Amino acid sequence: MSVDTGLLQDVRAHLELAGAALLAGALIAIPLGVAAAYAGAARGAIVGVAAVGRTLPSLAVLTFILPFLGVGFWPATVALTLLAIPPIVINTDLGLRGVDPAALDAARGMGMTRRQAFGRVAWPLALPSVVTGLRTAAIEVVASATLATFVGAGGLGVEIVRGLQTGDDRVLYQGAVAVALLALAVELLGGLIARRIGATT
């Protein structure tokens, strides 16, 4: 019974950590993606930095953050936010640059301002790609949040580490299965949202 209670607490901590990182990542990355799409020559620098960030191992990012911010929830959130940013930036940029110029020309021909054309035409058409970036980031963050236990942030990594340390396969597997189920749930939810948005655009 105590294991089950501890598991539920770790699931909650895992979701809080992943949710905070994904929200922060979206608030930073979506504006960066929009800027990249309209930045002209500067686009390469923005997307290039994001692409490099995507190649960084999760544990390496957590380890790098540790000397500067210490341990706990917020340092882990910062590290996971850095991991969430690249796919959102890249997909936001791709989505906006993939908008048919004819659609934008038609909007301008109807008398829309640039801002109106963006909000009513470009953004809705780019939204499925943005959601794909969010979906990818969410899965990566949920999986990587397991490592946050090494910086004292809790989460389902606690179950896995405890199982390894004590040789208790039941605790180990319940932690691993819980992470896998969370990632699968995020994937299914993201797919449902993407299909609904795709059907309305």
User: Domain limits at 182?
Assistant: 2-200
Q: What percent of the chain has pLDDT over 90?
A: 37
The reported pLDDT for the residue numbered 15 is 93
CATH of the domain at 138: 1.10.3720.10
Burial label, 42 (beta-carbon count in 10 A; 0-12, 13-18, 19+): exposed
Which tokens is 155 given? 């989460």
Contact between 107 and 119 (Cβ < 8 Å): no
pTM, to two decimals = 0.87
Instruction: Give the closest residue to 141 by CA, choosing from 11, 21, 8.
Output: 21
What digits encode the pLDDT tens for the residues 126-174?
999 999 999 999 999 998 899 888 887 888 888 888 888 888 888 888 8
- Token digits of residue 119: 């909000």
Domain count, the chain: 1
pLDDT in tens, 113-130: 888 889 899 999 999 999
List the one residue out of 143, 166, 144, 32 whose CA is nearest residue 88.
Answer: 32
**Hey, what amino acid is at 81?**
T
What would the pLDDT profile of 34-82 be if each residue is shown by its tens digit? 999 988 778 888 888 877 777 777 777 777 777 777 778 888 898 899 8
Question: Which candidate, 95, 90, 94, 14, places its Cα nearest to that of 53?
Answer: 90
